[in-house]
Amino acid sequence: MPDKKSTAEIVIGDGAAAKARTYIETGLHAVRPLVLCDVNTERYAVDCFGGFERFLWPDRQHATPEAAALAVEKIEEMKADLLIACGSGSLHDLTRYAAEKAAIPYLSFPTAPSVDGFASSMAAMTVNGQKLTLPAHAPVALFAEPAVFRDAPVRLTLSGIGDILGKYVCLFDWKTASLLTGERFDPVIEKMERDAVDTLMHTDFNAPGFPVKLMECLVLSGVAIQQFGNTRPASGAEHHLSHFWEMHCLNAPTDALHGEQVGTATIQLLRRYREVTSLRLTKKPLTREYLLPVFGELTDRIIRENTPFLPDAISQEKLDSVWDEIRRLALSELPDASVIEEYLASKGGKTSLAALGLPDDDAFSAATLQYAPYVRNRLTLLKLL
Ligand SMILES: [Zn+2]
């Protein structure tokens, strides 16, 4: 039985689909594999895994336990011994959640370079309206076929770019938290994420090899999550903004993609982080009165998520003792917001709240920065501002 916590085989390149089939049959000895796909990716499931059983989700199925349960029914009915995730981000979250529930391994077959979670061991799920990151299986193997993912709509590719650009903010948040609280920091894992974003920025978007490079960066980031054991190396305040918008606390649902939100959030946070020259800590509220108007029926769960409340553990003396280093990191490791904004805009990417379909006014923007840190009990600089 393969180890479900780490990915033993990663192939990104021409012929990966054929190699996947061989690996399934002769490497994993799967007898009853089940391909999980949606209406957009079914044709790849047919082309690359013809003859295998298939389970189909509708277009843009959200990753919820209810949707995963439908696949689990099918898994149990046919006694599947391997799942194949044939799709992009949410489909991978659904597959890894279903694999965990059914206690069987899964193989990743990404059809678009749209998110960094393919090799991740964490499932981003929406549970009763709350966005949660739950421990799940990592894929036992990952095969990415350029003939498949090169065809992906450019919007999905731009989403993958946005997800990688978010590493600037999350790596800074991670180092800041480590300085303030001694939280575990791993320089080798940090370098994997840094390499992913540096490689992206140094690769010509119009070069024929770009989609493969982007896929390599996304997979590398997911492997970093897997090796670290949680999403800390790849997810900071920029992801909290994205999750907050997806919880629809102050906005109507939009059709913005995960990486489109992360890219725009990154621009906002780079601007905010680089302008903070000094910081006096204030007591952050974690009370029903404060949170209820925004989080509504999620309020009690948000309070539970944030207990113990991380900002309470930080003193002004501690902050003062490391502030020069935090400021040095902000100026040396965070690019100017305009650099990222122009980079995304020049490729047709989304860079504003309005483009995401969100309210484009100062009040919404300020409320986002104020309340988004509460979606997750993870220390970021934003949580202290
Ligand atoms: Zn992400």
The CATH number of residue 248's host domain is 1.20.1090
Say which CATH number the domain at 45 has: 3.40.50.1970
Q: Distance, CA 262 to ligand 1 centroid (Å)?
A: 7
For residues 301 and 307, give the distance between their C-alpha atoms in angstroms, rounded to a whole number: 10
Residues 142 and 289 in one domain: no
| Pairwise CA distance, residues 155 & 42, whole Å | 19
Measured in Å, residue 22 CA sits from the centre of ligand 1 at 31
Pull the structure tokens for residue 183. 């939280």
139 plus 255 within the same structural domain: no
CB 53 within 8 A of CB 78: yes
For the whole model, what pTM was predicted? 0.94
Does some domain include residue 123?
A: yes
Centre of ligand 1 from the C-alpha of residue 269, in Å: 15
Give the span between the Cα atoms of 88 and 108, in whole angstroms.
10
Asked if residue 336 and residue 275 are part of one domain, the reply reads yes
**Measured in angstroms, how far is the CA atom of residue 124 from the centroid of ligand 1?**
9
Quick check: 121 and 136 in contact, CB under 8 A? yes
| Angle at the Cα of 221 from the Cα atoms of 337 and 259, rounded to 5 degrees | 50
How high is the pLDDT of residue 1?
Answer: 43
- Domain containing residue 112: 9-152
**CA pair distance 334, 201, nearest whole angstrom:** 13
pLDDT value of position 135: 87
Taking only the tens place, the pLDDT of each residue in 171-214 is 999 999 999 999 999 999 999 999 999 999 999 999 999 999 99
Regions of the chain with pLDDT less than 50: 1
Distance 110 CA to ligand 1 centre (A): 15
Q: Distance, CA 317 to ligand 1 centroid (Å)?
A: 34
Which residue carries 């990663």 as its tokens? Answer: 10
Q: Which two tokens stand for residue 336?
A: 């100017």
CA of 222 to the centre of ligand 1 (A): 9
Closest CA to 221 of 2, 380, 7: 7
Same domain, 116 and 159: no
Share of residues in the chain with pLDDT > 90 (%): 92
As a whole number, the mean pLDDT across the chain is 95
Same domain? For 132 and 146 the reply is yes
Residue 131, pLDDT score: 81
- Ligand 1 centre distance from Cα of residue 38 (Å): 21
Q: What DSSP line would sit under 213-280, residue for residue? A: HHHHHHHHHHHHHHHHSSSGGG-SHHHHHHHHHHTTSSS------HHHHHHHHHHHHHHHHHH-----
Distance 36 CA to ligand 1 centre (A): 21
What confidence score (pLDDT) does residue 105 get?
96
Provide the 8-state DSSP code for 128: T
Looking at the fold, whether 116 and 254 belong to one and the same domain comes out as no
Cα 62 to middle of ligand 1, angstroms: 15
- Residue 3 pLDDT: 56
Kindly give the distance from the C-alpha atom of residue 231 to the centroid of ligand 1, in angstroms, as a whole number.
9
Residues 164 and 253 occupy one common structural domain: yes
Q: What is the pLDDT of residues 87-105, one digit of tens each?
A: 998 999 999 999 999 999 9
Could you report the per-residue pLDDT of 211-265, keeping only the tens digit for each? 999 999 999 999 999 999 999 999 999 999 999 999 999 999 999 999 999 999 9
97 CA → ligand 1 middle, Å: 17
The predicted pLDDT at position 4 comes to 57
Q: Are 41 and 71 in contact (CB under 8 A)?
A: no
Asked if 52 and 166 sit in the same domain, the reply is no
Query: What's the number of domains the chain is made of?
Result: 2
